[in-house]
Chains A and B, each alone.
Chain A
Protein backbone atom coordinates (compact mmCIF):
# COMPACT_ATOMS: atom_id res chain seq x y z
CA UNK A 1 0.00 0.00 0.00
CA UNK A 2 1.07 3.56 -0.62
CA UNK A 3 1.66 5.30 2.71
CA UNK A 4 0.72 8.96 3.11
CA UNK A 5 2.56 10.76 5.90
CA UNK A 6 1.22 14.13 7.01
CA UNK A 7 2.98 16.73 9.07
CA UNK A 8 2.52 18.20 11.51
CA UNK A 9 -0.02 16.01 13.31
CA UNK A 10 -1.40 19.12 14.95
CA UNK A 11 -0.79 22.85 14.97
CA UNK A 12 -2.06 25.91 16.78
CA UNK A 13 -2.74 29.06 14.82
CA UNK A 14 -4.61 32.34 15.09
CA UNK A 15 -7.34 33.80 12.93
CA UNK A 16 -5.69 35.53 9.98
CA UNK A 17 -2.61 33.28 9.97
CA UNK A 18 -1.32 31.37 6.98
CA UNK A 19 -0.86 27.65 7.64
CA UNK A 20 0.67 24.92 5.53
CA UNK A 21 0.17 21.19 5.94
CA UNK A 22 2.42 18.77 4.12
CA UNK A 23 1.84 15.23 2.93
CA UNK A 24 4.51 12.85 1.67
CA UNK A 25 3.77 9.71 -0.32
CA UNK A 26 5.84 6.56 0.07
CA UNK A 27 6.22 6.39 -3.72
CA UNK A 28 5.64 8.72 -6.61
CA UNK A 29 1.95 9.35 -7.27
CA UNK A 30 2.01 12.13 -9.90
CA UNK A 31 -0.75 14.60 -8.86
CA UNK A 32 -3.23 12.07 -7.53
CA UNK A 33 -3.82 13.69 -4.16
CA UNK A 34 -7.01 15.03 -2.65
CA UNK A 35 -7.50 17.05 0.53
CA UNK A 36 -10.48 16.88 2.89
CA UNK A 37 -11.62 18.91 5.89
CA UNK A 38 -13.30 17.05 8.73
CA UNK A 39 -15.08 18.48 11.73
CA UNK A 40 -16.22 16.36 14.65
CA UNK A 41 -19.73 14.98 14.16
CA UNK A 42 -19.91 16.05 10.53
CA UNK A 43 -19.19 14.48 7.17
CA UNK A 44 -15.77 15.14 5.65
CA UNK A 45 -15.67 17.79 2.93
CA UNK A 46 -13.60 17.76 -0.26
CA UNK A 47 -11.41 20.86 -0.54
CA UNK A 48 -8.83 20.12 -3.24
CA UNK A 49 -8.62 17.39 -5.86
CA UNK A 50 -5.82 16.41 -8.22
CA UNK A 51 -3.32 18.16 -5.96
CA UNK A 52 -4.26 21.73 -6.87
CA UNK A 53 -7.82 21.97 -8.20
CA UNK A 54 -10.21 23.82 -5.91
CA UNK A 55 -13.52 22.04 -5.41
CA UNK A 56 -16.55 24.11 -6.37
CA UNK A 57 -17.82 26.23 -3.49
CA UNK A 58 -14.60 26.04 -1.47
CA UNK A 59 -13.14 29.45 -0.50
CA UNK A 60 -10.11 30.57 -2.46
CA UNK A 61 -8.03 30.88 0.72
CA UNK A 62 -7.52 27.12 0.38
CA UNK A 63 -4.89 26.03 -2.12
CA UNK A 64 -2.96 22.88 -2.89
CA UNK A 65 0.32 22.17 -4.62
CA UNK A 66 2.84 19.46 -5.29
CA UNK A 67 3.49 16.44 -7.47
CA UNK A 68 5.47 13.24 -7.27
CA UNK A 69 5.84 12.49 -3.58
CA UNK A 70 5.49 15.86 -1.83
CA UNK A 71 2.27 17.80 -1.48
CA UNK A 72 0.95 20.66 0.57
CA UNK A 73 -2.31 22.30 1.56
CA UNK A 74 -2.17 26.00 2.42
CA UNK A 75 -4.84 28.00 4.18
CA UNK A 76 -4.23 31.70 3.90
CA UNK A 77 -6.02 34.13 6.21
CA UNK A 78 -7.26 31.40 8.57
CA UNK A 79 -10.91 31.85 9.54
CA UNK A 80 -12.79 30.58 12.63
CA UNK A 81 -14.63 28.05 10.46
CA UNK A 82 -11.30 26.52 9.37
CA UNK A 83 -10.44 24.94 12.71
CA UNK A 84 -10.79 21.27 11.90
CA UNK A 85 -8.78 18.18 10.98
CA UNK A 86 -7.36 17.94 7.47
CA UNK A 87 -6.55 14.76 5.57
CA UNK A 88 -4.66 14.07 2.39
CA UNK A 89 -5.66 11.01 0.35
CA UNK A 90 -4.00 9.36 -2.64
CA UNK A 91 -5.99 8.08 -5.62
CA UNK A 92 -2.99 6.93 -7.67
CA UNK A 93 -3.26 3.37 -6.52
CA UNK A 94 -6.47 1.38 -7.03
CA UNK A 95 -6.44 0.94 -3.25
CA UNK A 96 -6.76 4.33 -1.62
CA UNK A 97 -5.05 5.52 1.53
CA UNK A 98 -5.45 8.59 3.74
CA UNK A 99 -2.85 10.45 5.69
CA UNK A 100 -3.17 10.30 9.46
CA UNK A 101 -4.62 13.81 9.66
CA UNK A 102 -3.56 17.25 10.86
CA UNK A 103 -5.60 18.95 13.55
CA UNK A 104 -5.69 22.73 13.27
CA UNK A 105 -6.49 24.29 16.63
CA UNK A 106 -7.04 27.81 17.85
CA UNK A 107 -4.03 29.43 19.50
Chain B
Protein backbone atom coordinates (compact mmCIF):
# COMPACT_ATOMS: atom_id res chain seq x y z
CA UNK B 1 0.00 0.00 0.00
CA UNK B 2 1.60 3.26 -1.10
CA UNK B 3 2.07 6.03 1.44
CA UNK B 4 2.80 9.61 0.49
CA UNK B 5 4.90 11.50 3.03
CA UNK B 6 4.85 15.26 2.71
CA UNK B 7 7.34 17.80 4.05
CA UNK B 8 6.56 19.90 7.10
CA UNK B 9 4.69 23.14 7.58
CA UNK B 10 6.12 26.31 6.06
CA UNK B 11 5.76 30.00 6.80
CA UNK B 12 6.61 32.46 4.06
CA UNK B 13 6.42 36.18 3.43
CA UNK B 14 4.38 37.63 0.57
CA UNK B 15 6.32 37.63 -2.68
CA UNK B 16 8.53 34.68 -1.73
CA UNK B 17 8.40 31.05 -2.89
CA UNK B 18 7.76 27.69 -1.26
CA UNK B 19 8.69 24.18 -2.33
CA UNK B 20 6.79 21.22 -0.88
CA UNK B 21 7.94 17.63 -1.27
CA UNK B 22 5.99 14.38 -1.44
CA UNK B 23 7.83 11.06 -1.08
CA UNK B 24 6.20 7.76 -1.98
CA UNK B 25 6.89 4.58 -0.10
CA UNK B 26 5.49 1.08 -0.26
CA UNK B 27 4.24 1.23 -3.81
CA UNK B 28 4.80 2.29 -7.37
CA UNK B 29 5.46 5.93 -8.10
CA UNK B 30 6.88 6.71 -11.48
CA UNK B 31 4.17 5.03 -13.56
CA UNK B 32 1.38 6.92 -11.81
CA UNK B 33 0.30 10.54 -11.98
CA UNK B 34 0.87 12.82 -9.02
CA UNK B 35 -1.56 15.68 -8.55
CA UNK B 36 -1.41 18.59 -6.15
CA UNK B 37 -4.60 19.82 -4.52
CA UNK B 38 -4.97 22.62 -2.02
CA UNK B 39 -7.58 23.72 0.51
CA UNK B 40 -7.58 27.28 1.77
CA UNK B 41 -9.19 27.99 5.15
CA UNK B 42 -12.96 27.65 4.89
CA UNK B 43 -12.75 26.75 1.21
CA UNK B 44 -13.11 23.60 -0.85
CA UNK B 45 -10.59 21.44 -2.66
CA UNK B 46 -8.78 23.03 -5.58
CA UNK B 47 -6.76 21.05 -8.14
CA UNK B 48 -3.49 22.80 -9.01
CA UNK B 49 -1.91 20.48 -11.52
CA UNK B 50 -0.30 17.11 -12.10
CA UNK B 51 2.85 15.36 -13.25
CA UNK B 52 3.62 11.88 -14.56
CA UNK B 53 7.09 11.18 -13.10
CA UNK B 54 7.92 8.49 -15.68
CA UNK B 55 7.70 11.04 -18.48
CA UNK B 56 8.07 14.32 -16.62
CA UNK B 57 4.98 15.63 -18.39
CA UNK B 58 2.96 18.21 -16.52
CA UNK B 59 -0.35 20.02 -16.67
CA UNK B 60 -1.45 23.01 -14.67
CA UNK B 61 -4.76 24.61 -13.77
CA UNK B 62 -5.08 27.91 -15.59
CA UNK B 63 -5.24 29.78 -12.29
CA UNK B 64 -1.72 28.66 -11.35
CA UNK B 65 -0.10 28.61 -14.79
CA UNK B 66 3.19 30.51 -14.66
CA UNK B 67 3.35 30.56 -10.87
CA UNK B 68 3.65 26.86 -10.04
CA UNK B 69 6.17 24.26 -11.14
CA UNK B 70 5.76 20.53 -10.58
CA UNK B 71 8.77 18.27 -10.75
CA UNK B 72 9.55 14.70 -9.80
CA UNK B 73 12.59 12.53 -9.16
CA UNK B 74 11.64 9.00 -10.15
CA UNK B 75 14.88 7.61 -8.71
CA UNK B 76 13.92 8.70 -5.18
CA UNK B 77 10.14 8.49 -5.62
CA UNK B 78 9.73 12.14 -4.69
CA UNK B 79 7.53 14.81 -6.24
CA UNK B 80 7.82 18.54 -5.65
CA UNK B 81 5.50 21.51 -5.92
CA UNK B 82 7.01 24.99 -6.06
CA UNK B 83 4.71 28.00 -5.81
CA UNK B 84 6.16 31.46 -6.45
CA UNK B 85 5.08 35.06 -5.85
CA UNK B 86 3.17 33.98 -2.77
CA UNK B 87 0.18 36.01 -1.60
CA UNK B 88 -1.80 35.83 1.60
CA UNK B 89 -4.57 33.95 -0.21
CA UNK B 90 -2.11 31.14 -0.94
CA UNK B 91 -2.34 30.23 2.74
CA UNK B 92 -3.68 26.69 2.57
CA UNK B 93 -3.10 23.03 3.18
CA UNK B 94 -1.40 21.52 0.14
CA UNK B 95 -1.94 17.84 -0.62
CA UNK B 96 -0.14 15.55 -3.01
CA UNK B 97 -2.11 12.60 -4.32
CA UNK B 98 -1.44 9.65 -6.61
CA UNK B 99 -3.64 8.15 -9.24
CA UNK B 100 -3.52 5.81 -12.22
CA UNK B 101 -2.74 7.12 -15.67
CA UNK B 102 -2.92 5.59 -19.12
CA UNK B 103 -1.80 7.41 -22.26
CA UNK B 104 -1.38 10.55 -20.16
CA UNK B 105 -5.02 10.44 -19.11
CA UNK B 106 -5.50 10.97 -15.36
CA UNK B 107 -8.30 8.89 -13.83
CA UNK B 108 -8.72 9.62 -10.12
CA UNK B 109 -6.74 10.04 -6.88
CA UNK B 110 -6.65 6.93 -4.72
CA UNK B 111 -3.78 7.73 -2.35
CA UNK B 112 -3.21 11.05 -0.60
CA UNK B 113 -0.56 12.62 1.56
CA UNK B 114 -1.57 14.10 4.93
CA UNK B 115 -1.08 17.64 3.69
CA UNK B 116 1.42 20.46 4.24
CA UNK B 117 0.27 23.72 5.77
CA UNK B 118 1.71 26.78 4.06
CA UNK B 119 1.13 30.11 5.78
CA UNK B 120 1.84 33.33 3.93
CA UNK B 121 2.09 36.29 6.25
CA UNK B 122 4.15 39.42 6.59
Nearest CB on A from B33, distance (A): 10
Q: Which residues of B contact A44 (CB under 8 A)?
A: 37, 45, 95, 97, 109, 112
Interface of B is mostly: strand
Quick check: B112 and A49 within 8 Å, CB to CB? no
Interface of A is mostly: loop
Contact with A along B83-117 (1 / 0, CB 8 A): 00000000000010100000001111110111100
Contact B61 A95, beta carbon cutoff 8 Å: yes
Residue B66 is within 8 A (CB to CB) of chain A in the complex: no
Number of interface residues of B (CB under 8 A): 24
Q: How many residues of A contact B (CB 8 A)?
A: 24
Residues from chain A with Cβ under 8 Å of B37 in the complex: 44, 98
Task: Verify if B59 is at the interface (C-beta below 8 Å from A).
Answer: yes
Among B47-87, those with CB < 8 Å from A are 47, 50, 59-62
Task: Give chain B nearest CB distance to A25 CB in angstroms.
Answer: 15
- Within 8 Å of chain A (Cβ to Cβ): is B46? yes
CA distance A46 to B35 in the complex (A): 14
**Considering the complex, which residues of chain A in the window 16-66 have a beta carbon less than 8 Å from any beta carbon of chain B?**
34, 36, 38, 42-46, 49-50, 55
B contact residues vs A (CB 8 Å cutoff): 35, 37, 39, 44-47, 50, 59-62, 95, 97, 105-110, 112-115
Closest 6 CB pairs of A and B: A43-B112, A101-B44, A96-B47, A49-B108, A34-B108, A98-B45
